[in-house]
């Protein structure tokens, strides 16, 4: 099967080529949208990523070109218009799990870096400054950590934070019995937020969770709280978070995702003027740490993403049941 890959990065070519067997892979750096659909001409399947635009107009064009399968190389698929895919009889598959450890461990890395300020210490020492002034952190041991969303990634994150000696509380629509047996307490969101020293988001982006963190929920949080997001950018109303940072109510913010990241992340913009005033304002805070959606970026995760995506395509081509079908 001929597959058109969009939003391709060098690592995509490396891992998909390494694990490919029999498929014709065509790689494009361009994001998929209504203007770039013609690049997929002659392909029966397209492989897309989180920032590609698979709206109704894009899917209609894909169907007209004979595309039968949308293979997301990600767990998330909120950028896909599923009713349009169904209307045009295009199957959508995804990678539901690649390495929950990769993302959970990155969330912990953000916590430790923000807390112990290792990024600042690194830069100081390189300049010959060995002062410890303003590098004070706090013990994670004994702190209360709130986990919003306890799927596979959230569950791994809970286990790691328990290992630090933290009290871990959680919010989800369905309580995880295994976590409860380990001492994780499930609470309503309004009860969880005021208790936590650290809050980490691990839930999917849906209509119900969009801007879950907003002015109202931020006000419920403890002053000086640390907020971590390695899930989806739009879980946080960024402007409300900026206001909370300015007032000092939000003590730390660590994000690997951003609501308007599609025009920024995965690109080298070091020689350009960044016109996004919101992220530039975020970057001006000394207590904000931003990474560009690299939580998934481990060898194990990239290998699993490539293998699962190619297996999804193979199963579709062979007429087998699609284990990872969305629609």
Task: Output the pLDDT for position 325.
Answer: 97
Mean pLDDT of all residues in 86-110: 96
CA–CA gap between residue 170 and residue 155 (Å, rounded): 10
Known catalytic residues are 232, 261, 293
If you search the block for the tokens 């994670």, which residue do you land on? 140
| Confidence (pLDDT) at 16 | 98
Average pLDDT, the chain: 97
76 pLDDT tier (thresholds 50, 70, 90): confident
Token pair 């992340």: residue:
265
Rounded distance between C-alpha atoms, residue 188 and residue 170, angstroms? 8
Which residues does 261 contact at the CB level (< 8 Å), separation at least 6?
51, 233, 292, 293
Contacts 24+ apart (CB under 8 A), 28-36: 28/4, 30/6, 31/6, 31/7, 31/262, 32/6, 32/7, 32/58, 33/58, 34/58, 34/61, 36/6
pLDDT tens column, 193-245: 999 999 999 999 999 999 999 999 999 999 999 999 999 999 999 999 999 99
Kindly report the number of other CB atoms within 10 A of residue 268's CB atom.
Answer: 6
Quote the distance between the C-alpha of residue 15 and its chain's center.
Answer: 20
3-class DSSP state for residue 320?
coil
Nearest CA to 71 among 38, 103, 89, 93? 93
Q: Which of 49, 89, 55 is nearest to 73 (CA)?
A: 49
pLDDT at 206: 92
Confidence (pLDDT) at 148: 98
- Structurally, what CATH architecture does the domain formed by 100-290 represent? 3-Layer(aba) Sandwich (3.40)
- Confidence at residue 190, expressed as pLDDT on a 0 to 100 scale: 98
Long-range contacts of 166-174 (CB under 8 A, 24+ apart): 166/140, 166/141, 166/142, 166/198, 167/142, 167/143, 168/144, 169/144, 169/145, 169/195, 169/196, 170/146, 171/146, 171/147, 172/148, 172/203
User: So what's the pLDDT on residue 301?
Assistant: 97
Task: Give the whole-number percent of the chain exceeding pLDDT 70.
Answer: 100
C-alpha to C-alpha distance for 94 and 47, rounded to whole angstroms: 10
Q: Residue ranges per domain, the chain? A: 2-98+299-318, 100-290
pTM: 0.93
Are domains 2-98+299-318 and 100-290 of this chain identical in fold? yes
Tens digit of each residue's pLDDT (9 = 90 or more) over 279-304: 999 999 999 999 999 999 999 999 99
Say which residue the tokens 């959606």 belong to: 293
Beta strands 91-93 and 144-148 are unpaired
Classify 157 as helix, strand or coil.
helix
Q: How many whole angstroms separate alpha carbon 92 and alpha carbon 322?
A: 9
User: In the chain, which ranges are continuous DSSP H helix?
Assistant: 10-19, 56-64, 82-87, 100-116, 118-126, 152-163, 177-181, 189-192, 215-220, 238-247, 277-283, 299-318
**pLDDT tens-digit map of 143-200:** 999 999 999 999 999 999 999 999 999 999 999 999 999 999 999 999 999 999 999 9
CATH label, 2-98+299-318, candidates 1.25.40.10, 3.40.640.10, 3.30.70.20, 3.40.50.720:
3.40.50.720
* pLDDT confidence bin for 258, thresholds 50/70/90: very high
Dihedrals phi, psi of 225, to nearest 5 degrees: -60, 150
């Amino acid at each position: 099967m001929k597959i058109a890959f969009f939003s391709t990065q060098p690592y995509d070519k490396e891992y998909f080529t390494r694990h490919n067997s029999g498929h014709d892979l065509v790689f494009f750096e361009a994001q998929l949208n209504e203007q770039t659909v013609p690049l997929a001409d002659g392909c029966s399947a397209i492989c897309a990523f989180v920032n590609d635009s698979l709206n109704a107009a894009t899917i209609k064009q894909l169907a007209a070109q004979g595309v039968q399968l949308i293979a997301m190389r990600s767990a998330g698929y909120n950028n896909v218009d599923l009713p349009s895919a169904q209307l045009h009889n295009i199957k959508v598959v995804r990678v539901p799990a690649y390495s929950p450890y990769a993302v959970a461990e990155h969330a912990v890395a953000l916590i430790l870096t923000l807390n112990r300020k290792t990024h600042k210490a690194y830069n100081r020492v390189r300049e010959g400054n060995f002062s410890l002034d303003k590098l004070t952190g706090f013990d994670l041991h004994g702190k209360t950590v709130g986990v919003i969303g306890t799927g596979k990634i959230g569950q791994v994150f809970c286990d790691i934070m328990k290992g630090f000696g933290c009290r871990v509380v959680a919010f989800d629509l369905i309580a995880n019995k295994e976590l409860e047996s380990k001492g994780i307490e499930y609470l309503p969101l309004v009860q969880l937020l005021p208790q936590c020293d650290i809050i980490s988001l691990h839930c999917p982006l849906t209509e119900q969770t969009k801007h879950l963190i907003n002015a109202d929920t931020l006000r419920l949080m403890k002053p000086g709280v640390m907020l971590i997001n390695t899930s989806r950018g739009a879980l946080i109303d960024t402007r409300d978070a900026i206001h909370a940072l300015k007032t000092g109510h939000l003590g730390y913010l660590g994000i690997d995702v951003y609501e308007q990241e599609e025009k920024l992340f995965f690109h080298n913009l070091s020689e350009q003027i960044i016109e996004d005033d919101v992220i530039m304002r975020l970057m001006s805070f000394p207590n904000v740490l931003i990474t560009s959606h690299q939580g998934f970026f481990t060898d194990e995760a990239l290998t699993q993403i490539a293998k699962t995506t190619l297996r999804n395509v193979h199963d579709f081509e062979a007429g087998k049941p699609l284990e990872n079908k969305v629609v």
